[in-house]
A and B are shown apart, each in its own frame.
Chain A
């Protein structure tokens, strides 16, 4: 009689197939290109149907890009920090410090000094957060909230002390920055594209408008911001320093056991994230306007975090998310007509998403999406305009929607937000 009696069993498929790892999904250039073309097509359709030429007008696109920058910088800052394992809610506060620094140094010594000051001020905020979370293992979110409060108070106090009584300044605003930050345009294409755009042809004019918006009148800060993306990718995914930084966010215990100074790496990452938020602040104070103003950031630090989550903690999708939020921000500024047209766009997208969910057998989610899409469509058809007071909420509603719909298949760094103390390895 055997001691081990196997039960009747049918062959079981061997092992788990390797699953697509976090962020290892290779988006081929073709897929990206197709997605972009599809999006422009959709925009064209909506423009034709609703008559809102602003959707793809160069002016709107240009504004969208300019407004995407602070969001993108905050998101990039969040990326650096969270890839090292530190949640940074204080980005808003660091951005506020950045705007203030830009205004203060800018009005005295010019816009480039303003940019440098913005980075430094933001980095100081980052340093504070780093010390609190890394050295004192304070809860990351609490520290972030505290820094936001502190940043607000400090800038209010400093504005009152330093700007009151200056020429062009007040307790809530810095004197204007001279000269202008200035920018850069790709030469020779402005007029040809403008004429194509004016014709209002389906798709072609939209492309022209988009191209003109993207390639002309770019602030230097915008250029710097754009360059920071590939730079970040290269540093974090191609260099030794980047690998070590990411390891702190995935498994600080492993990192420490291999001789990496986890504390120092995290602190550097968070200071960099503060500096990046500072750049975002500079974009607001020097490019989108030319002075510091209280309340300038308007929650963009948080929207940037949402863009980072949307981007699954990778640079590519982070950029896409920032563009999306920037676009909604820009449209909101251009008034009710464009926002109204956006309703149509949203309705179409949500209905398409709903159909896709149904196709994938996710009945409940699909139905919810469909119903919401139809509701938005109905509202669009019934109304002429979105009330002025409500258009201001557009970027925030967009953020919520995006997070609500996209939150599932995300993979954040494994040790993100967890307190870490030296020697805590097994």
Chain B
């Protein structure tokens, strides 16, 4: 009986992402060469820059919110739901949470908890709209979440005006929500010496979310139902799962985690939601979830890798290499990783069939996949 920490199995799981990364790296090298830049110097620059302590802190911080975003997406993926709306969900959630945190004068830790809960609620609600539309009217959540993203941008533009939720920041052109009072902020963790910067305190939240995600999915009956519905909706229905309810709950959960994406930044650094709050984190989450194959540890590695690419490429601009090369690497990685996973999956299925056949002695007909259904 194979143990679960079977080295062969782990090896096989790693083949796909490694293969994909190699392939993406090759593409990047080709693009750079064709555009007239030196791949070697580009890579050395990136590596040098990332060796600096300050960059490392930036990488960890970036990875923190990437991780949350990816987990949010992964929850949906496990049920074959595509929550492309993480982007709109986290921004809306961050805005509302920031406004609440800045204007409600509650004592410190309570304020923090309140903001986190508000963010999760807003994210869940926004995502829930898509879930309800899918469950009740069969509307593809892919399209509805994308539409909701755009709508949330409009709503944020509307709310982020002086007189509504925002105020003019002193001495700058920036508009933001009222800053969170000192007591409501979370300090950083001095993880890396000489960095001059601290790691987000809320990295703890990210870790908890990861653990919670893993436990929920693998150890609870709800998680079993979720994975069953993602594996085969018809089988799940026959096993007693209420698919409509499942759809909505999964989207709510995904949205709630999405709401947390902006929290480390908000509560640990910016202290207010303003025009320059990071955007686009939702789409990054999708890519990382795919790269990490929806696995809590895999996603963590994916998040770190992505953050590394993002941060270390900042230096490239100064040296004349368009830093968008990294976007191409990222896009190519996503595409090649899904192809690689598919190939590995097929290989694994065939290999398993062969092994089972060998172990049992040969029978005549290949194992049935779907039988029994009449025309």
Contact = CB atoms under 8 A, between A and B. Distances in A.
A and B touch in the complex (CB under 8 A): yes
Given A299-B146, A389-B157, A399-B143, A404 B133 contact: yes
Contacts of B148: 396, 400
A393 B322 contact: no
Contact of B158 (A136, A305, A389): A389
Nearest to B328: A153
Interface stretch (B40-48, B183-191, B258-266, B337-345): B337-345
Nearest to A141: B82
Contact of B331 (A89, A154, A298, A389): A154
A412 B335 CA distance: 27
Most buried by B among A145, A149, A151, A397: A149
A152 to B, nearest CB: 7
A403 interface: yes
Interface stretch (B134-142, B296-304, B357-365): B134-142
Given A132-B338, A407-B139, A157 B322 contact: yes
Contacts of B327: 149, 152-154, 156-157
A271 B9 CA distance: 37
Interface in B309-338: 322, 324-328, 330-332, 334-335, 338
B147 A149 contact: no
Contact of B290 (A146, A153, A399, A403): A146
B283 interface: yes
A160 B325 CA distance: 10
Q: How large is the interface on A (under 10, 10 to 19, 20 to 34, 35 or more residues)?
A: 35 or more
Given A137-B342, A404-B137, A143 B151 contact: no
Contact of A400 (B144, B287, B331, B334): B144
A124 to B, nearest CB: 13
Given A142-B338, A403-B133, A161 B322 contact: yes
Contacts of A306: 143, 147
A393 B148 CA distance: 9
A145 B331 contact: no
Most buried by B among A141, A299, A302: A302
Given A136-B339, A149-B283, A157 B324 contact: yes
A138 interface: yes
A396 B328 contact: no
A95 to B, nearest CB: 14
Q: How large is the interface on B (under 10, 10 to 19, 20 to 34, 35 or more residues)?
A: 35 or more
Interface in A380-394: 387, 389-390, 392-393
A408 interface: yes
B199 interface: no
B158 A387 contact: yes
A138 B338 contact: yes
A403 B331 contact: no
A403 B139 contact: yes
A400 B322 contact: no
Contacts of A154: 327-328, 331
A136 B330 CA distance: 20
Nearest to A399: B147
B137 A136 contact: no
A390 B151 CA distance: 8
Contact of B82 (A145, A146, A153): A145
Given A160-B322, A390-B158, A392-B154, A147 B143 contact: no
Contacts of A389: 154-155, 157-158, 161
B193 to A, nearest CB: 35
Nearest to A139: B338
A154 B335 CA distance: 13
Contacts of A302: 142-143, 146-147
Contacts of A150: 328, 331-332, 334-335
Nearest to A149: B331
A128 interface: yes
A145 B81 CA distance: 13
A152 B284 CA distance: 13
Contacts of A132: 335, 338-339
- Please list the 9 inter-chain residue pairs (A to B) with the smallest Cβ-Cβ separation, ordered nearest first: A153-B327, A150-B331, A393-B154, A157-B324, A389-B158, A389-B157, A160-B322, A146-B334, A146-B335
Given A149-B327, A154-B331, 7 more contacts: A132-B339, A145-B286, A149-B330, A156-B324, A157-B324, A393-B150, A396-B154
10 contacts: A136-B342, A138-B338, A145-B84, A146-B334, A147-B335, A149-B331, A152-B327, A154-B327, A389-B154, A390-B154
Interface of B: 31, 35, 82, 84, 133, 137-140, 142-144, 146-148, 150-151, 153-155, 157-158, 161, 283, 286-287, 290, 322, 324-328, 330-332, 334-335, 338-339, 342-343, 346
